[in-house]
């Protein structure tokens, strides 16, 4: 069992399985936004189509590239490709961070104060983690660079845990969860991703 877990393909596959729903939803909206085919409950976002498009495009690219970037095979055997994809990964993360903060500015009343505080905190944290990762690689501190990239990925894909919980409820009721329980699930799910990443950083 332990030998199976050390196989290079295991980590990327596990990350894709965990984030597949979020990536698919983002890709659907990448197509819907240019076509003007957003569902009724998302029509408010047509007021800022560019920022909404940047958010879902960046999220899809971030989710697709992340698991590949963390593959040791890519880092060791295909260093140049790893660096090129890493730059795209950073740009995608920056798009998520900037667009998230901009959407929060444009739509401050869409969610509760607790959710908005979380969105603000995680949006800023993502940009900060990416900046620290880039600073580390310029100084050729590879371990610190990897650690901050892991943290950035966890923050950027924290919405995955939220989606996994909220989407089934939305499909059943036709409305997203609201109230105190929704706030706790939203913030708790995102925080769990960050905590898991921190534990991982300290163990590898």
> What domain range includes position 195?
2-203
* Residue whose pair of structure tokens reads 């590949």 in the numeric block: 68
> Which pTM was predicted?
0.86
**How far apart are the C-alpha atoms of 160 and 162, rounded to whole Å?**
5
Q: What is the pLDDT of residue 22?
A: 87
- DSSP conformational letter for 140: T
Select from 41, 5, 129 the least CA-distant residue to 32. 41
- DSSP conformational letter for 176: -
Specify burial of residue 98 (Cβ count, 10 A radius: 0-12, 13-18, 19+). middle
Select from 173, 184, 145, 159 the least CA-distant residue to 29. 159
Tell me how many domains the chain contains: 1
Q: What is the pLDDT of residue 2?
A: 42
Q: What is the residue-level pLDDT of the chain in tens, covering all 204 positions?
A: 444 444 557 777 888 888 888 899 899 999 998 888 877 767 677 778 899 999 999 999 999 999 888 877 667 777 788 889 999 999 999 999 999 999 999 888 878 888 889 989 999 999 999 999 999 999 999 999 999 999 999 999 887 777 777 777 777 777 767 788 788 888 888 888 889 889 888 876
Q: What is the pLDDT of residue 153?
A: 94
């Amino acid at each position: 069992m332990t030998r199976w877990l050390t196989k290079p393909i295991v980590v990327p596959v596990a990350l894709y399985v965990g984030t597949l729903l979020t990536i698919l939803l983002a890709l659907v909206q990448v197509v819907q936004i240019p076509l003007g085919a957003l569902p009724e409950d998302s029509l408010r976002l047509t007021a800022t189509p560019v920022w909404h498009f940047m958010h879902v495009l960046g999220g899809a690219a971030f989710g697709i590239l992340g698991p590949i970037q963390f593959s040791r095979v890519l880092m060791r055997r295909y260093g140049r490709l790893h660096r090129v994809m890493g730059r795209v990964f950073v740009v995608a993360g920056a798009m998520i961070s900037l667009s998230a903060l901009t959407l929060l500015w444009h739509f401050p009343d869409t969610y509760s104060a607790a959710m908005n505080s979380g969105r603000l905190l995680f949006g800023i944290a993502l940009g900060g983690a990416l900046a620290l990762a880039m600073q580390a690689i310029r100084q050729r501190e590879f371990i610190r660079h990897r650690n901050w990239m892991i943290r950035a990925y966890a923050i950027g894909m924290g919405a995955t845990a939220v989606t996994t919980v909220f989407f089934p409820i939305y499909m059943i009721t036709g409305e997203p969860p609201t109230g105190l329980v929704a706030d706790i699930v939203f913030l708790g799910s995102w925080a769990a991703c960050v905590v898991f990443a921190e534990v991982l950083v300290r163990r590898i």
